[in-house]
Chains A and B, each alone.
Chain A
Amino acid sequence: MTEQAPKPRPFRAAPLMLAILIGTLLCAGAVPGYALATAPVAVAAADGAVSWDNLYREHRLIAWAVALVVALQTVAIIVLTNGARQRHRASRMLRESEERFRMLAESSLTGTYLVSGDETVLYVNRTLAEMLGYRPEEIIGSNFRSFICPEDQQQVVSNYDKRLAGQAVPANYEVRGLHRSGRLIELELFASISRSCGEPAIIGTVLDISARKQAERAVHSHQQQLEEMNRILEQRITEEVEKCREMDRVVMQQARFAAMGEMIGNIAHQWRQPLNTLGLVIQRMQMEHEKGNLTREVMEERVATGMDLLLCLSRTIDDFRNFFRPGLEPRSFSLSKAISTTVDFFEPGCAAHGIRVTVEGNCTLRYNGHVNEFAQALLNILNNARDALEERKVRQPVITVSLSEAEGRGIVAIRDNAGGIAPAVLERIFDPYFTTKEEGRGTGIGLYMARSIIERQMQGRIDVRNSREGAEFTITL
């Protein structure tokens, strides 16, 4: 800091002062002497013995010399007076500057230091000294390492050396200081290279950032807690979503099984008739044999009938298995054929309850996808219609499936004459687990599954409305 203050110029007026003194003495001696020496001449001139012109011509050089000396003396006196005034002003400004600096340094809320090139502390202000638990005079003259936490000394010394060597070092960095009591203080250290008494030195400021760091740690800790809570929350959400999905999968699977069960019921019915007939044919053969009527021709006829029935049963099983086998690769299928096959499986169960199922219209469009999934969706809608017709004991119950095409899209409408769906139910009919059926009869998944298949898997659309006679579901693909 001392080299920063303006330095007074050295006093160099002595020779000038000496010259003035000599000049003054010369003038003081020369003028009276000269006057005395020339007095007779002047008297003679006054008397008219010598003319004034001659007198002037003989002594003009001396007169001019005296005049010059007097002029120089005057100038020198003016210059000296002015210089002294300036020096006085500079000195006053220097004192004021030093006072200002000291006041600034001492009353600063930040610590200030000056360290010499040999690591000696040349100056610390009161703030820094108090920060470290000392008085300034206890620190000044010590090695700065004494006030740095041992673990951080290497970093500080390295920065110090590099800075002195003129290498690029961060202007500020954080470091742990060592308080007199032995506790660690967190400091932010600002440093720059300077000079002190012509030697390189490091000057800078120090901030106690313990409170800030504590606050930062608290914030960080809260952030971590928040992040942890977020993580746990996300994990829980993921788990819950996964649970819901799993539950959906399970329920969907159960619904599939339930639908399959119904289909198997249909198949059982389809089987029961030919099985009965086959049984009657076999028993009849026995009777014919007992009565002696079993001729070769009769036998062949009965065997042919029996085999036809067996093959029919076998085909039913194959068709059912192939059509509803899960995990089939997506493939191109005819909408018309898929509907007629599904209705073929569905119809026998309806016939058992007197429900007529009709298919009308045609559609030439083909789709790429899982035909069994589509059949499942259609069956769920058909089952719903059948249940409504049975529940309401409709006379002459009918389910109509009509196909059409519009703007390159296939439209399948499934209508029943069960009287329609209540408006409040209509809004929620595709919601999962929503059912109006009595407990144990409906899962509330059938129509939800139908919508999932049509809209999510086949990118189609499913709508429902009440027609004049009953409900009408429309699938647009």
Chain B
Amino acid sequence: MRCLIVEDNAMAREGLRYFLADHAEIELAENGREGVALFQQALCDHKPFDLVLLDIIMPEMDGQEALKLIRLAEQHDLTPDRKKAVIIMTTALNSPENMEEALWEGDCTDYLVKPIVRADLLAMLRRHGLIQ
């Protein structure tokens, strides 16, 4: 499994990487713009990411904008639905309207509210068939 972690907080980024190190090949991005670039590059390299952990609140480009661009990149690449990346939004905004916007407008797969519990993350990955 290839995983892209997009998170502006270095310690959080490193913590997530450590959580998933045993289950995936991981690449890190500090903001949305960098994350989109890495995702597009991976598509070009025919090594698409299976999982994207995308923080919502980030400088330069936030998670919601990045989510739209990632889905757009998949459309341009003609990625079939079953091959589309599982995108999990991670957010400190624990409010229904934020989640609604992210899920229905941005077409994310799921979301996790911070602080992230490893067991919940792994359970979510299992639910989406990414790990056993």
Residues of A within 8 A of B (CB): 268-269, 272-273, 275-281, 283-284, 287, 305, 351-352, 354
Bound Cα distance from A305 to B59, whole angstroms: 23
Which of these, B9, B57, B117, contacts A277 with CB under 8 Å? B9
**Residues from 109 to 130 in B contacting A, C-beta threshold 8 Å:** 114-118
Question: In the complex, what residues of A have CB within 8 A of residue B116's CB?
Answer: 276, 279-280
- Given the known interface contacts A277-B9, A280-B19, the answer about A287 and B57 at a Cβ–Cβ threshold of 8 Å is no
Q: Is the CB of B59 within 8 A of A280?
A: no
Q: CB of B93 within 8 A of chain A?
A: yes
Bound Cα distance from A278 to B114, whole angstroms: 11
Residues of B within 8 A of A (CB): 9, 11-12, 14-16, 18-19, 56-57, 59, 62, 92-94, 114-118
Q: Is the CB of A280 within 8 A of B115?
A: yes
Bound Cα distance from A283 to B16, whole angstroms: 10
Question: In the complex, what residues of B have CB within 8 A of residue A278's CB?
Answer: 115
Question: In the complex, what residues of A have CB within 8 A of residue B92's CB?
Answer: 268-269, 272-273, 276, 352
Question: In the complex, what residues of B have CB within 8 A of residue A273's CB?
Answer: 9, 12, 92, 114
Q: Is the CB of B9 within 8 A of A284?
A: no
Question: In the complex, what residues of A have CB within 8 A of residue B19's CB?
Answer: 280, 283-284, 287
Bound Cα distance from A44 to B18, whole angstroms: 201
**Number of inter-chain CB pairs below 8 Å:** 60
B79 to chain A, nearest CB (A): 27
Question: In the complex, what residues of B have CB within 8 A of residue A276's CB?
Answer: 9, 12, 92, 114-116
Which of these, A268, A269, A280, A354, contacts B16 with CB under 8 Å? A280
Q: Is the CB of A280 within 8 A of B11?
A: yes
Question: In the complex, what residues of A have CB within 8 A of residue B57's CB?
Answer: 269, 351-352, 354
A301 to chain B, nearest CB (A): 11
Q: Is the CB of B115 within 8 A of A272?
A: yes
Q: What would be 20 A-B contacts, judged by CB atoms less than 8 Å apart?
A: A268-B92, A269-B57, A269-B92, A275-B114, A275-B115, A276-B9, A276-B12, A276-B115, A276-B116, A279-B114, A279-B117, A280-B11, A280-B12, A280-B15, A281-B11, A281-B15, A284-B18, A305-B11, A351-B57, A354-B57
A280 to chain B, nearest CB (A): 3
Bound Cα distance from A279 to B14, whole angstroms: 12
Q: Is the CB of B62 within 8 A of A354?
A: yes
Bound Cα distance from A279 to B19, whole angstroms: 12
Where chain A touches its partner, the secondary structure class is helix
A212 to chain B, nearest CB (A): 80
Bound Cα distance from A272 to B11, whole angstroms: 13
Question: In the complex, what residues of A have CB within 8 A of residue B93's CB?
Answer: 269, 352
Residue of A nearest to B112 (CB): A276
Question: In the complex, what residues of B have CB within 8 A of residue A352's CB?
Answer: 56-57, 92-93
Residue of A nearest to B116 (CB): A276
Bound Cα distance from A256 to B108, whole angstroms: 37
Residue of B nearest to A291 (CB): B22
Point out which of A269, A280, A287, A354 has the most chain B C-beta atoms below 10 A from its C-beta: A280
Residue of A nearest to B118 (CB): A283
Residue of A nearest to B65 (CB): A354
Q: Is the CB of A284 within 8 A of B15?
A: yes
Bound Cα distance from A272 to B116, whole angstroms: 10
Bound Cα distance from A65 to B1, whole angstroms: 186
Bound Cα distance from A281 to B116, whole angstroms: 11
Bound Cα distance from A216 to B116, whole angstroms: 89
Bound Cα distance from A284 to B22, whole angstroms: 13
Bound Cα distance from A252 to B6, whole angstroms: 42
Point out which of A269, A276, A352 has the most chain B C-beta atoms below 10 A from its C-beta: A276
Question: In the complex, what residues of A have CB within 8 A of residue B114's CB?
Answer: 272-273, 275-276, 279
B80 to chain A, nearest CB (A): 32
Question: In the complex, what residues of A have CB within 8 A of residue B56's CB?
Answer: 352
Question: In the complex, what residues of B have CB within 8 A of residue A354's CB?
Answer: 57, 62
Q: Is the CB of B118 within 8 A of A287?
A: yes
Residue of A nearest to B114 (CB): A276
Question: In the complex, what residues of B have CB within 8 A of residue A284's CB?
Answer: 15, 18-19
Which 6 pairs, one residue from A and one from B, show the smallest C-beta to C-beta distance? A280-B15, A272-B92, A279-B115, A276-B114, A276-B115, A277-B11
B51 to chain A, nearest CB (A): 17
Question: In the complex, what residues of B have CB within 8 A of residue A279's CB?
Answer: 114-117
B16 to chain A, nearest CB (A): 7
Question: In the complex, what residues of B have CB within 8 A of residue A268's CB?
Answer: 92
Bound Cα distance from A281 to B14, whole angstroms: 9
Question: In the complex, what residues of B have CB within 8 A of residue A287's CB?
Answer: 18-19, 118
Bound Cα distance from A89 to B25, whole angstroms: 154
Q: Is the CB of A277 within 8 A of B62?
A: no
Q: Is the CB of A351 within 8 A of B18?
A: no
Bound Cα distance from A283 to B14, whole angstroms: 12
A152 to chain B, nearest CB (A): 87
